[in-house]
């Protein structure tokens, strides 16, 4: 793994909300630290209400993690465009985040430790 990335179990239980609705809660989240970026909490996709997320065509590429695929969050009152991302086939050294999803904290999208 690159010395610039560190992945470890996130301590405690984490929750993600959008527009006040709980999208997921997990005691099995991962915390990813990457040089030059804020720490990111990745939730197991099995712990997220994926029916509330809509896959988009948007992708980005990280030289350390690979290609990220994005989802919009659908709430009753608003759509949060490209507010979540996942690395379905991460590069060597970042394999632990395969099957996990992270969220941009914006407007009413919040990731919090309980």
CA dist., res. 94 & res. 80, Å (int): 26
Q: For residue range 11-33, list pLDDT tens digits in order.
A: 999 999 998 899 999 999 999 99
H or E segment at 8? strand 5-9
> Could you tell me if residue 10 is left (phi over 0), alpha (psi between -120 and 50 degrees) or otherwise beta?
beta
Q: For residue range 26-70, list pLDDT tens digits in order.
A: 999 999 999 888 999 999 999 999 999 999 999 999 999 999 999
What are 68's strand-pairing partners? 60
> Could you tell me if residue 6 is left (phi over 0), alpha (psi between -120 and 50 degrees) or otherwise beta?
beta
Query: In this predicted structure, what is the pLDDT of residue 2?
Result: 52
pLDDT tops 90 at residue 80: yes
Counting every residue written for the chain, the total comes to 114
Domain 5-113 has CATH 2.170.150.40: yes
Query: In this predicted structure, what is the pLDDT of residue 4?
Result: 83
């Amino acid at each position: 793994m690159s010395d610039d990335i560190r992945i470890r179990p996130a301590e405690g239980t984490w929750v993600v909300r959008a527009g006040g609705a709980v999208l997921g809660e997990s005691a099995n989240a991962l915390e990813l630290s990457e040089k030059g970026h804020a720490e990111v909490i990745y939730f197991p996709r099995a712990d997220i209400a994926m029916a509330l997320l809509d896959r988009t065509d948007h992708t980005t590429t990280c030289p350390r993690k690979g290609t990220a695929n994005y989802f919009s969050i659908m709430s009753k009152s608003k759509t949060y465009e490209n507010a979540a991302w996942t690395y379905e086939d991460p590069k060597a050294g970042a394999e632990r985040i395969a099957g996990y999803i992270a969220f941009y904290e914006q407007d009413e999208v919040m990731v919090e430790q309980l």
